[in-house]
Structure 1
Amino acid sequence: MPECVVIADDLTGANATGVLLKKMNYNAYTVMNEERIELSSLENCDCVLYPTDSRGVEPDIAYNRVYNVCELLKSEHVKVYANRIDSTLRGNLGSETDAMLDSLGEDYTAIVAPCFPSSGRILLGGYMLVNGQLLHKTDIAIDPKTPVAVSEAEVLFKEQSKYPVSSIYTKDMMKGKHYLADRIKEEIQKGSRIIICDCVTQEDLDLIADAVITSRKKIIAVDPGVFTAALSRKLIKPSEKAEKSRILAVVGSVHPATKGQMEDLWLSQRTHNVFVQTKELLDSKEARDKEIQRVIHEILAESGKNVISTVTGDGIYPENRIDFNYYKSKLNCTMDEVTQIINESFAEIAYQIFKKEDSYKGLYTSGGDITVSVCRRFDTAGLDLLDEVLPLAAYGRLLKGEFEGIHIITKGGSQGQKDAINRCVTYLKEKLYI
């Protein structure tokens, strides 16, 4: 049965949110006719999305459509309720949110996080900005069907909703999830049923989701889909599938870009990460073997819960970086020989994971030396190159060896924008039909 119910004001918005959820390995169904819904047919559905086509209708009609669908789809199994709104705040924001609040009951509060970072939609100081411009100064202000002449989200909701509305701004976001959870509870205690949160980045959306969970309050997510996806990722485990192909990302690069790229992946998708303590790989053979086995064990222990696993060198954080000169002296070897020990250790971790868990069908490697070591340990004859994912990121399959046919993407550690690794892993998921 669905654990996430998304009621959207139009079909394209419903589908766009469904794709975000699908990328996190949820079974997501868009339903377009409530009279033909048979709840038994949704047994294997994690997330159901229902478009009401209510953006351009009269507020009372929009209210009735959303209320009726919410009455039909609500159940004790649902962990995430969402009102999917337009990313530029067009339509019947207030009446649709009121409808869900009325259907679900007085112990629910709407948390509005109208941010879509990748599309340039953010809320800062309560003002909606679209690619850096105030909303009322964009073409949305003269939209022929649903124009929006106000950039302040709180004003729009107050004009349209019968319930008290309040806002939480960036200054409160900077103090962590516990403080933010307290602020949410404080606004609810004051009587707010709709709370609008500033949000600029994916990290902000994850913080709001963590705060909501920490507050233990029942909420409705009101957003263009990204906040809903973040909340779902934290609350809902995807249904088990008969066959599930998993992806392992092996990242040993310590380039500053790698840190941002890995954090973007961890924030965007359901992953399980284990940091490799690089120092342990060099202290002694016994310490190295112990560290390799620790990482392998921790990855395999959590594999059943995650499609994506990441093995990351702790050197992406500067405070963990080792003094190579010390180890050159201690081990009486060259810099190349020191780095070879590290690279071969990462390769051994990857090899053992693929050897012990055959559901791993996709591999992402970052850094040329790591990639070479992994290919050698896998005894592959080479790569069957198939596509360019993004500049300097290549997709292909392993040729020969124990794991012939495994899908692989390789990328230089310094290459790409902040979302580069996330894009590579998403590409792998699509190729594996996850």
Structure 2
Amino acid sequence: MANHINKISSPIVILADDLTGALDSSCTFSSNGYKTIVYCELPKNIEVIKKDLASNMNQVVVLNTETRNSTNKKIESMYDLLFSEYKWLFENSHPFKKVDSTGRGNIGFEINAILSKFHIPYAFVCLPYPELKRIQTMGIIKSEGNPIDHTQNNSKLPKDVRYQTEKSLEIQSGLKTRLVTQKEIDTDEKSLYTRLKSMIESNVKIICFDSLSRKDLNQIYNTTKKYFPKCLLVGSAGLTKSISESIAVRPYKPPKVNIQQNPFALISLSYHQTTKTHFTKLSDLKKISNITIDTDALQLDTSFNKEYKRVCSIIEDSIYSKTNIAIKQNKQPSLGTKNKSFTSKRLHKFLSIISTKLMSYDFYKTFILIGGDTANVVLKTASIRKIEAIEEILPGIILSLPLPENNVRFNIITKSGGFGSEDQISELISKLL
């Protein structure tokens, strides 16, 4: 991608492993005059993408592969499809692989699949997103200053949290992997280039970087772009921000959207502690009706239907009183409930029919969707297959619009589930009221 990023004849292509990641990794390009289209799922008719690009090549094309929690077999199948059906899209531009800034997912295996299918010699991986207080030092990913330990999800990792990013990628990919430390990044460009060149010559296939700041990310991107244009760049929205800041400004202007004083529905399936804190803060706001889904009630059809009627009644009362709403689940399902897969399917089904109910009234003009699962379910329910990323309202919180062919008219605001200060959602709401 680095070879072609400034050329009009070549779009910027991002492969994201979930929907909220697809949006937060691409939203900063629109302010530089790049039409940014996110495909919520891979189009069955690839002529749709070709038609879009024919009208405007200054685009960012974002494909949501939804592979973060996928098996190796499904990931392999996904990239077989991409390479066979979308080969024309990558002929003049390398893909950027967007991954989670905390290292969740089967990142190493996805990298291996892309390198193999797309015949790319090596990958550079930079996960940090300093604006969200996610950094990496000595291979340790930290969020809000707290080390993230993936050993509980991967017994093959050494107990020592140091170098965990490097070791995790090597185990997942089966490829020789090395770490560039903060000390090495702090050297001059020539020294960093020499270090990277030495690693590549010793047959290292994945090189991951520590990073503490925006300055570090910019240096990493500029060095790799200048000296290693054939590489696969892998990272979070932190790294795509460096890319968007380096490209030439284009004339495209995204649609103007007024998000103030429009009725909104805030929805989340996440039970992450950060999300719980956000909703606790919202409970004090009188202009929002809080609805809590009883997750345990969804296990049986009888209680499922009863819970649906209860929630619908609150929604109807909220619309009658012209009140915004916030919907969440009350807790993780009790230990006595059925397996997680069954519970997840029931919760998704419930959210789908509740979303249908919300949309049928055409009252709520903005849907705030927290977490990739939530966004996926709601947008699929509305048959929204592609959207345009408009702007980043707050770090990691993205405003987007369904394209006209979707025949729906509401604003979409998305946020990944597990980050943000305790006042972040309250700050967002203050911009809407």
Q: What TM-score do the two structures reach when normalised by structure 2?
A: 0.50
Residues of 2 paired with 1:6 and 1:89: CA distance?
Answer: 18
Q: Secondary structure at the match of 1:87?
A: coil
Shift of 1:25: 3.1
Deviation at 1:117, TM superposition (A): 0.6
Q: Distance in 2 between matches of 1:156 and 1:198?
A: 14
After superposition, residues 334-349 of structure 1 pair within 5 angstroms as none
Question: Which of 146, 153, 173 is residue 185 of structure 2 equivalent to?
Answer: 173
Matched, 1:241 2:249: no
Letter in 2 for 1:82: F
Residue 42 of structure 1: how far off its partner (Å)? 2.2
Shift of 1:6: 0.8
1:50 aligns with 2:63: yes
Give yes or no for the alignment of 1:37 onto 2:46.
yes
After superposition, residues 324-343 of structure 1 pair within 5 angstroms as none
8 Å contact from structure 2 (residues 34, 252) kept in 1: no
Contact 1:115 1:200 in 2 (8 A): yes
Greater RCO, 1 or 2 (C-alpha within 8 Å, sep 6+) = 2
Match of residue 18 from structure 2: 10
Q: TM-score, normalization: structure 1?
A: 0.50
Matched, 1:61 2:69: no
- CA separation of 1:232 and 1:221: change in aligned 2, threshold 3 A: farther
Q: What secondary structure is seen at the aligned counterpart in 1 of 2:234?
A: strand
- Could you tell me how far 1:23 is from its partner in structure 2? 3.4
C-alpha distance in 2 between matches for 1:157 and 1:127: 13
Q: 1:242 to 1:30 in 2, by over 3 A?
A: closer
Letter in 1 for 2:97: N
Structure 1 residue 228: Cα displacement: 2.5
Give the match for residue 195 of structure 1.
207
Gaps of 5+ in 1: 246-388, 391-429
Map 1:152-301 to 2 at 5 A: 152-234=164-246, 236-241=247-252
Residue 21 of structure 1 contacts residue 28 of structure 1 at CA under 8 Å; is this kept in 2? yes
Deviations 1:351-408 (Å, cap 9, x if unpaired)?
xxxxxxxxxxxxxxxxxxxxxxxxxxxxxxxxxxxxxx99xxxxxxxxxxxxxxxxxx
- The question of whether the paired residues in 1 share the 8 Å contact of 2:139 and 2:181 is answered with yes
Change in CA separation of 1:59 and 1:207 when aligned onto 2, cut-off 3 Å: same
Contact 1:52 1:65 in 2 (8 A): yes
Compared CA separation, residues 30 and 148, structure 1 to 2 (3 A): farther
Shift of 1:223: 0.8
CA separation of 1:114 and 1:242: change in aligned 2, threshold 3 A: closer
2:305 is matched with which residue?
A: none
Write the distance in 1 (CA, Å) between the matches of 2:17 and 2:65.
5
Call closer, same or farther: CA 1:24–1:201 in 2, change over 3 Å: farther
Task: List, as ranges, runs of 4+ consecutive aligned residues in structure 1 with deviation greater than 6 Å.
Answer: 140-143, 147-150, 242-245
Residues 49 and 88 of structure 1: CA distance in aligned 2, closer, same or farther (over 3 Å): same
Q: Distance in 2 between matches of 1:8 and 1:149?
A: 29
Instruction: Sort the Cα spacing of 1:142 and 1:125 in 2 relative to 1 into closer, same or farther, 3 A.
Output: closer
The alpha-carbon deviation at position 9 of structure 1 amounts to 0.7
Structure 1 residues 102, 57: CA separation in 2 closer, same or farther (over 3 Å shift)?
A: same
Equivalent position SS for 2:122: strand
Deviation at 1:239, TM superposition (A): 4.0
Instruction: Check conservation: 1:13, 1:86, Cα contact below 8 A.
Output: yes
* Distance in 2, Cα, partners of 1:132 & 1:242: 38
The number of aligned residues is: 241
1:161/1:123 Cα in 2 relative to 1: closer, same or farther (>3 Å)? same
**Structure 2: stretches of 5+ with no match in the other structure:** 1-8, 257-392, 395-430
Task: Name the Cα RMSD after superposition.
Answer: 3.2
